[in-house]
Amino acid sequence: MSKDKAEHKANRIQAKALAQKSVTSLAGVGPQMALKLAKVHVHTAQDVLFHLPHRYEDRTTVTDLGALRPNLSTVVIAQIDLAQVVFGRRRSLLVCISDGTGSLAIRLFYFNRSQEKSFQRGLWVKCFGEVRLGAKGYEMIHPEYRVSQSEPEGGLDTTLTPVYPTTEGVSQALWRKITDQALQNELPKLQELVDSDCLPNEMQGVYQSSSLQHAIHALHRPSVGVDLNNMQQATSSAHQRLILEELIAHHFSLRKSRDARAHELAPVLEKDPIKAQSFLHNLGFTLTGAQRRVCAEVESDLSRSSPTMRLIQGDVGSGKTVVAAFAMLQAACSGVQCVLMAPTELLADQHYITLGKWFGELGIDVGWLASKTPAKQKRETLERLAAGDLLVAVGTHALIQDAVNYKHLGLVVIDEQHRFGVEQRLALRSKTPAGQVPHQLVMTATPIPRTLAMTFYADLEVSSIDELPPGRKLVETVVMPAQSKRAEVIQRVKAACTAGRQVYWVCPLIDESEALEAQAATLTEQELKDTLTGLRVGLVHGRLKPKEKEGVMKDFRNGDIDLLVATTVIEVGVDVPNASLMIIENAERMGLAQLHQLRGRVGRGSEQSFCILLYQMPLSQHAKLRLKILRETNDGFVIAQKDLEIRGAGELLGTRQTGSITFKVADLIRDQHLLPFIDESATKLAAKTPQLIEPLIDRWIGSKEEYVNA
């Protein structure tokens, strides 16, 4: 064995040991906590190291109240002028503070007596939060705060504070505690698995300027004086190196599934011409040319014994659901099971209603499965799926969880796949009888740029529904300042509802907790209810129970609600043709793709529809450009292209991913300059260090990846 080889072997063995050490080996992580961490795919100590912050907060300086700007997250120190409970639209505790340069209001909606009493006039508060422009000037809603007798001194951080992606019940403090331990005890054991000789010349510098251990450390614990912007833009060599490695790991996992698929068999699905005929007949509309073409492509895919993996891209409203249903009919008519999986319960519920109607008319039952389906109904559905007498099911990712067994799953349709990770796509493979894999169709309204497709969708066929159903009027989009036009907009809402139309009012808070988003929507609902007496106003947000959500959506669909106030939970797929007006607040803070998706909720009927984008000052250059693009075009493909250009120009819009895959550091759009190197590097690595591929995939994609082999 050459020295090189011996070293690679040692690396692999070390890597394996690290990858197998359970997260419960860390202090503070018991079995309960381990379950929570598993929700964000953290199972091992190594996963903790690779659970990287998705943003950073700057708590290194105090900002004078006179120098505050909206949307800025910062530390302020000031004295309390006044604290009182106010009974506005909603009871809240209002604390006014000032520091001689300016003033600020702190607002708490959830508070207890002792909190109320702690805010005494003349005492000092130090708080950290995001500044918003409220009705009476700047405010912070639920900031982190501490009250003290005298002016607090010191206590500022010397480095940027990492903020970790998290899940219910896992605090940032816990993340910091366990990453501290992992950095101290496990990081020194972390092995290099990518031989930099295999990377193209252009990339070697980046790679060698920062070791893996150093890079991981730099992201978890930025050094003193590191610039917040650089960290957010991921331009440091530590970032670049990790991004490159992550992209290579994902590319490997994709190659692996492609190789595996080449030897796989899928059930041959035969169309039943009579059933297909009556299905089309019952629709009440004729398929567009594009829909017919894609249906035919899919039909021929499914009639072959090699597994289909096809991406169906079509702009919002182009009618992808009916194509999915047509394919599912082919499966059901062949006596094989099929599922339609949606990214949200709301959307799954809507598909359930649509498919229930279409299939019901043909005497085919449709099942429903989401994480919060009532136990009894769930048990029944699970039994029928296992027995094989339920052929069609609709739901969320609950459909692919371990407890779900299928008699013979032959087709999986994944809707709006940019919300699904590759691992979920792969998990499905374990649901079929031995020796077979299901056909897969993936539907998306976000078209995928070419370089990206070549690297990350190399294993997909692509169909495009490039035509909208006839009679659609383009949504007319207007952009208005929220401050001065709100009253006018409210009058338009009233006029639309009085004319029998329905309206969405969307209140997004990007990058905020679901709780805050729900809260903003709740406040708006109250306000609109108070002003628009006589209108039936509904509210839907992520914090509602599934039953409540369903109830509200049902009422809206049936026309029993005129105005629906919502968070971005309605972003994807919701289809209520009578809704013809959409208001979107804080549009300046949202990405193009997301705004386009939201806007796609109107313009689904024959009525002329409108979308009003409300913005708060100040508007950045990029925000201005985004709003202008939306005003000028309705074409999703053009918007996706522009999105790429703007983001390519260096602005990072939040942490949302545009690709289908969830990455830890990479962003396929932002990091597209690295894509051309990936394939070549992977080929060289596969030749030189084939034994390091597995541990590399394992490190970046984690244990979910095992499904590739299932």
Q: Which residues bind ligand ADP (CB under 6 A)?
A: 285-288, 291, 314, 316-322, 445, 469, 573, 575, 577, 604
- Asked if 636 is part of the footprint of Mg ion (rule: CB under 5 A), the reply reads no
494 binds, among ligand ADP, Mg ion, none (CB under 5 to 8 A by kind): none
Contact call for residues 702 and 43 (beta carbons, < 8 A): yes
288 binds, among Mg ion, ligand ADP, none (CB under 5 to 8 A by kind): ligand ADP
Q: Which is nearer to ligand ADP, 321 or 594 (CB)?
A: 321
222 binds, among ligand ADP, Mg ion, none (CB under 5 to 8 A by kind): none
Amino acid at 287: L
- Please list the residues that pair with 461 across neighbouring strands: 310
Span interacting with Mg ion, options 33-41, 569-577, 600-608, 660-668, rule CB under 5 A: 569-577
Q: Which is nearer to Mg ion, 30 or 284 (CB)?
A: 284
- Classify the C-alpha dihedral 159-668-170-179 as positive or negative: negative
CA distance 6 to 695: 16
Binder of Mg ion out of 53, 314, 421, 573 (CB under 5 A): 573
Phi, psi of 702 (to 5 degrees): 80, -170
Span interacting with Mg ion, options 93-101, 294-302, 566-574, 606-614, rule CB under 5 A: 566-574
CA distance 315 to 350: 18
Binding to Mg ion in span 190-219, by CB under 5 A: none
Contact call for residues 260 and 673 (beta carbons, < 8 A): no
Contact call for residues 308 and 300 (beta carbons, < 8 A): no
Q: Which is nearer to ligand ADP, 575 or 651 (CB)?
A: 575
By beta-carbon distance, which residue lies closest to ligand ADP? Answer: 319
Please give the helix or strand (H or E) that residue 229 lies within, else none.
helix 228-233
305 binds, among ligand ADP, Mg ion, none (CB under 5 to 8 A by kind): none
Picking from 550, 600, 603, 546, the residue whose alpha carbon sits closest to that of residue 580 is 603
DSSP, collapsed to helix, strand or coil, labels residue 11 as helix
314 binds, among ligand ADP, Mg ion, none (CB under 5 to 8 A by kind): ligand ADP
Contact call for residues 31 and 24 (beta carbons, < 8 A): yes
DSSP, collapsed to helix, strand or coil, labels residue 556 as helix
Least separation in angstroms between CB 568 and Mg ion = 16
To which residue do tokens 């929570």 refer?
36
Contact call for residues 49 and 698 (beta carbons, < 8 A): no
Binding to Mg ion in span 343-382, by CB under 5 A: none
Least separation in angstroms between CB 291 and Mg ion = 13
Q: Which is nearer to ligand ADP, 382 or 412 (CB)?
A: 412
Contact call for residues 370 and 345 (beta carbons, < 8 A): yes
Span interacting with Mg ion, options 138-146, 404-412, 571-579, 589-597, rule CB under 5 A: 571-579
Picking from 424, 425, 423, 378, the residue whose alpha carbon sits closest to that of residue 403 is 378
Q: Which is nearer to Mg ion, 257 or 417 (CB)?
A: 417
Q: Which is nearer to ligand ADP, 317 or 542 (CB)?
A: 317
Amino acid at 419: R
Least separation in angstroms between CB 321 and Mg ion = 5
CA distance 468 to 202: 44
Residues contacting residue 477 through CB under 8 Å, at least 6 positions apart = 599, 610, 611, 612, 613, 630, 631, 634
By beta-carbon distance, which residue lies closest to Mg ion? Answer: 573
Query: What count of other Cβ atoms lies within 10 Å of the Cβ of residue 424?
Result: 21
291 binds, among ligand ADP, Mg ion, none (CB under 5 to 8 A by kind): ligand ADP
Q: What is the 3-state secondary structure (H, E, C) of 596-621?
A: HHHHCCCCCCCCCCEEEEEECCCCCH
Q: Which is nearer to ligand ADP, 356 or 577 (CB)?
A: 577
Least separation in angstroms between CB 428 and ligand ADP = 21
Least separation in angstroms between CB 146 and Mg ion = 47
318 binds, among Mg ion, ligand ADP, none (CB under 5 to 8 A by kind): ligand ADP
702 binds, among Mg ion, ligand ADP, none (CB under 5 to 8 A by kind): none
665 binds, among ligand ADP, Mg ion, none (CB under 5 to 8 A by kind): none
Q: Which is nearer to Mg ion, 37 or 328 (CB)?
A: 328
User: Exposure pattern of 369-380 as b/e (b: 16+ CB <10 Å)?
Assistant: bbeebeeeebee
Least separation in angstroms between CB 245 and ligand ADP = 36
Least separation in angstroms between CB 407 and ligand ADP = 28
| Binding-site ranges for Mg ion (CB under 5 A) | 573
